[in-house]
Structure 1
C-alpha cells in the first residue's frame, strides 16, 4: 500500500528562489526520528559513521545540508543561500558553465530535482566550495570551503565502498588535500584577524557534534599529517612543525571541558605524538 511506504526525505513546502538565475525549487530534507539514523563510531577525522538498518538501509545525512539550485548549480549553506548581492551575482552567473562542466565526466547524470544520491551529495559540496570563492569575508568563506571539501571527501569514500572500480578513493584524496589547504588557511586568517569564524554557530565538521574552533585546529593538524606531501623531506618537516604548533594549542590546556570534549583532547594528544615521532624520524629535534 502506498500509504505504508516508509519515507526517508521530504520536500520543503516553501519554494526557494535562486538569487542567481531566479529559478524556483523545493529543497529535499532528511526526516528525523523513526530509527532512520543509527549512529556508530566517530572517526579520527571527527566524522560520524552511521550504521545501515534493515528498515532504511544506508542513510547519509551529509547529502542534504547544502542548498543547490537545480538549474544553475549555485550552492551554499542555508543561511547564506539568499544572501547574494552586488557584483557577486554576475560573478556567479559567469560561473554557471564551469559548475556544469566540472563534474560532468565523473557524474554525467546529476539531477537535483529528484532524491539525492551520493553523486549529488559530493557535487553539492564541490559547487558550494566553488561558489564561496566570491563570498565576502563576513561569511567565513575559507571555513565553508574547508568543510565542503572535507565532507566531499567523506562522501567520495562512501561511493568507493559501493564501487571500488571507479577510483572514488583517488577523488577523495584530492578533496582531502583541498580541505587540508583550506583548514590551514582558516587558522592562519584567524590568527591574523583577517577572517573569523566567531559568528558561526556550528563548526562541525559533521552534523552532530560541534567541536568548535578546537576542532578546526585539530583538523588543520591532522589533515596535514595524513594527507600532506611527503616528496620533499625539508618541506614536510616545516609543515609538520607548523601542524604540531597548531595542535599544541589544544593539548596545552591539559584538561577536557564542555568546550574541549575528552574525545577531541585524546585525539589531539595522539596526533601530537605521531607528529613528534615523524619529526624525530626526519632528524628534527622536537
Structure 2
C-alpha cells in the first residue's frame, strides 16, 4: 500500500485531523488505516500491534470470555466478517469497533483510554465513509454516536494527562489520530476542544452546563494556542487550526453570555 507508483494521493487535512485521500484511478479506494489494527479472525480480539502480546492472564481471560458477545455485537452492525480476507472499508470499520471493545477490557498498564479515543474517532471516519456509500442504512447515526464517544474519551484522556492514573506517555507514539502525522498530545487537546464544540448539545443539554463545558475546553485550548505562538517547533497546520477554533470558541461563548 505504501510502495509503488502513487497509490496514496493525499488530499486536505480535515478539521478533525483526518487526512483525506483521493480515489486512485488504478487502485480505487486506498486507506492506510485498514491494516493498522491487528485482529484475531477466530476470537475477534483487536489491538494496536504494540499491545498484541502484552496480555496479562486477567485481560486474556476477560477478552476470551467476551468472544461470543463481541461477535454478536459487531455482526449486528456490519454483518458476518472474515478477517482472513483482504481488508476493505467494512473490515477496517470493524477493526476499530473491536479495538474499542477490547481496550475496554484491558488493564491500566497499556494506557487503554487514549487508545480507545483513537479507535473511536477512526471508527467514526469509517462510518462517515460507509454512510457516503450506503446512505440509507443508518450509518450516519453510528458515525455521530462514535464522534460523541470520542469527545467523551478525549476528555478523559486530558484528565489522565494531568492526574497520571494511566501511563498515557506509553501511547504517545500512536495518538495520531491519523497515520500521516502523529500530532501527539497537542492533537488530544485540539480534538477535545473540536469535538466538545461540535457535540456540546449532546454532552450538556442545559445552556449553563454548555457554558461550563466550553469554558473548560477553551482554557485548555488557550494553552495549546499560546505554546504554538511561542514555539517555532510546533507544526504550522495545528497552530493555525487551533487559532481558528479558539476564535470560534470566543464567538460562541460571547453569544451564550459566557466568558469572553
TM normalised by structure 1 equals: 0.86
Q: Hey, what does 1:82 align to over in structure 2?
A: 53
Deviations 1:2-25 (A, max 9, x none): xxxxxxxxxxxxxxxxxxxxxxxx
Q: Hey, what does 1:22 align to over in structure 2?
A: none
Q: Distance in 1 between matches of 2:114 and 2:89?
A: 23
1:96 and 2:67 aligned: yes
Q: Hey, what does 1:257 align to over in structure 2?
A: 232
Q: Hey, what does 1:164 align to over in structure 2?
A: 135
Greater fraction of residues in helix: 2
Match of 1:266 among 210, 235, 240: 240
Aligned ranges for residues 274-285 of structure 1 at < 5 Å? 274-285=248-259
Q: Hey, what does 1:243 align to over in structure 2?
A: 217
- Three-state SS of the structure 1 residue aligned to 2:56 is coil
Runs of 4+ residues over 6 Å off in structure 1:
none
Match of 1:140 among 111, 132, 153: 111
- Three-state SS of the structure 2 residue aligned to 1:245 is helix
Q: Distance in 2 between matches of 1:245 and 1:32?
A: 43
CA RMSD of aligned residues (A): 1.4
Q: Distance in 1 between matches of 2:140 and 2:3?
A: 30
Deviations 1:195-248 (A, max 9, x none): 232233232110011111111110011111112325311111111011101211
Q: Hey, what does 2:183 align to over in structure 1?
A: 211
Give aligned pairs, total: 256
Query: Which segment drifts farther, 226-235 or 241-250?
Result: 226-235
Aligned ranges for residues 1-286 of structure 1 at < 5 Å? 30-199=1-170, 200-229=172-201, 231-253=205-227, 254-258=229-233, 260-286=234-260
Q: Which runs of 5+ in 2 are unaligned?
A: none
Q: Which has the higher contact order (CA 8 A, sep 6+)?
A: 2
C-alpha displacement of 1:183:
0.6
Deviations 1:55-81 (A, max 9, x none): 111112111100011111001000111
Q: Which runs of 5+ in 1 are unaligned?
A: 1-29
Q: Distance in 2 between matches of 1:257 and 1:38?
A: 29
Is contact 2:160–2:168 with CA below 8 Å preserved after alignment? no
Is contact 1:256–1:265 with CA below 8 Å preserved after alignment? no
Is contact 1:256–1:262 with CA below 8 Å preserved after alignment? no
Is contact 2:130–2:139 with CA below 8 Å preserved after alignment? yes
Is contact 2:37–2:49 with CA below 8 Å preserved after alignment? yes
Deviations 1:73-100 (A, max 9, x none): 0010001111112211111111112211
TM normalised by structure 2 equals: 0.94
Is contact 2:59–2:107 with CA below 8 Å preserved after alignment? no
